[in-house]
Amino acid sequence: MSAANGTTEKASSEGGNILSGQNPIQFNLSDPLPLFIVQTVIILSLCYFINIFMHRIRQPKVVSEVISGIILGPSIMGKIPGFNDTIFPSESIPFLTLVANLGLCLFLFLVGLELDPKLILKRAKHALGISVAGLLIPFVFSCGVALLLYKEFEKGTDTGPAPPFGQFLLTCGVAMSLTAFPVLARILAEMQLMSTTVGFITVCAAAAGDIVAWILLALLVSLINATTPIMPLYVILMGIGLCLILAYVVRPILMSLVRLTHSEEEPSQKMIAVTLVIVLSTSFITNIIGIHTIFGGFLVGLLIPHDSGFAEGLTRRLEDLVGVYFLPIFFACSGLKTQVGLLNNGQTWGLVIMVTVISMFGKMLGCTTAAKANGMTWREAFSIGFLMQCKGLVEYIILNIGHDAGVISDRVFVIMIAMCVILTMISTPFVGGILFQIDKQAET
């Protein structure tokens, strides 16, 4: 036994040393880094290779990340014999997921930094009406879709008991109703439309909707994790208490430290460390009280004044690392769960088309009607309706949470992912043409 143990310890210490005849990318629990490096290189290379082509047709980077994740999943590269077992063995997925979730905490912190409550209040009359209508009407429409999908796939075709319909409805409804504020802001910036009336109002409406989105996400997670009917109420109350502590205790202390370290214009390394400790600590607290970990990063981001040099410096230091490295890993993890092969018959594709059309129609109806009611032209109102179709990370997070918790099946998961990709891809070309005409008319 001792000799065998000695051999095992020797092999473990050698890891993937090719001189000892070891496979350098074979998964080793005591040294998972070599395989993780290979996985990361493949993920990033594929993502940015696809982005070269997608950028030419004016598609946001999130589309490239989703497509690369799907390619690496079981439906395409997974069909190659031995690919998943060699490059993405099941034992290694928790390490990828760990890095992806850490990246999500930092990304949602950056999203919170980008949201400016003053901006929303400045255009509250227009933005809040568009945001509420753009959330409420698609959610009402999604009830019928959720009922059909629930009957079709959650009962009879999947093993195990069907999930509570309320959780299923909330997961599908929120994913169909939301607008991706970070993705939308980047699209408008790339198209140089942030200074236009349409772009400004749309960003304000999407920002207001983003805040509602995270409240709904907190509710969804609390419902999924609840063991008693009254537990979601306790979770929400603790969440409100945490928000009050952050606003009236943590924020004054943090801003005092910013002034003491002279980080008002450019954050020092000490203040970056302090901020990250607060982000991670808050994420830990939101996790243990029953809200998702990433919610903590978002709350801390909201604490910091949007227009301060400190916020701009933090964004400048973190956004490239998060966007270039962490987010592609998250979408790769999501893609490894996405079985495109389940879209294998006309009925399922019909459901994809139905979900996409209903989501698009509900969003168009709500946002366009609200914009027109606020005195905008039909062309501007339709532009806002198309822009608000944009989907992004929030929807994928919600769908992944629902899938991992067993609330939605593999087939429903891929249907909703397809809907998000289609709506994101069509929003930019349509809006670019419409707003170009608006600019021409304004010039004449």
The one-letter amino acid at 153: F
Q: Confirm whether 313 is domain-assigned.
A: yes
Q: How confident is the model at residue 37 (pLDDT cuts 50, 70, 90)?
A: very high
Query: What DSSP assignment string belongs to 371-431?
Result: HHHTT--HHHHHHHHHHTT---HHHHHHHHHHHHTTSS-HHHHHHHHHHHHHHHHHHHHHH
Range of the domain at 146: 108-324+343-443
What pLDDT is attached to residue 60? Answer: 74
Residue 4 belongs to some domain of the structure = no
Question: pLDDT tens across 212-267, in order?
Answer: 776 777 777 777 766 666 777 777 788 889 989 998 999 999 999 988 988 888 88
Total domains present in the chain? 1
Q: Is 70 among the domain residues?
A: no
pLDDT over 50 at 156, yes or no: no
| 321 HSE (CA, 13 A, CB side) | 11
Nearest Cα residue to 107 out of 425, 400, 397 = 397
**pLDDT at position 58 over 80:** no
Is the pLDDT score of 433 beyond 80? no
The band of 186, judged by pLDDT with boundaries at 50, 70 and 90, is low
Question: pLDDT over 70 for what percent of the chain?
Answer: 81
CB 61, CB 53: distance < 8 Å? no
Q: How confident is the model over 282-339, as pLDDT tens digits?
A: 999 988 887 778 788 888 988 888 777 888 889 888 888 888 899 889 888 888 888 8
- Nearest-CA neighbor of 145 among 351, 338, 444, 317? 351
Look at residue 64 and tell me if it is in a domain.
no
Would the pLDDT of 43 be above 90? yes
Residue 354 lies in a domain: yes
Average pLDDT, the chain: 80
Number of helices (H) and strands (E) in the chain: give both, helices first: 20, 0
Determine the pLDDT at residue 273. 93
Report yes or no on 240 lying in a domain.
yes
| Within-domain flag for 121 | yes
Residue 99 belongs to a domain: no
Q: How far, in Å, CA of 389 to CA of 183, rounded?
A: 11
CATH of the domain at 216: 1.20.1530.20
Task: Look at 188 and 357; give whichever has higher pLDDT.
Answer: 357
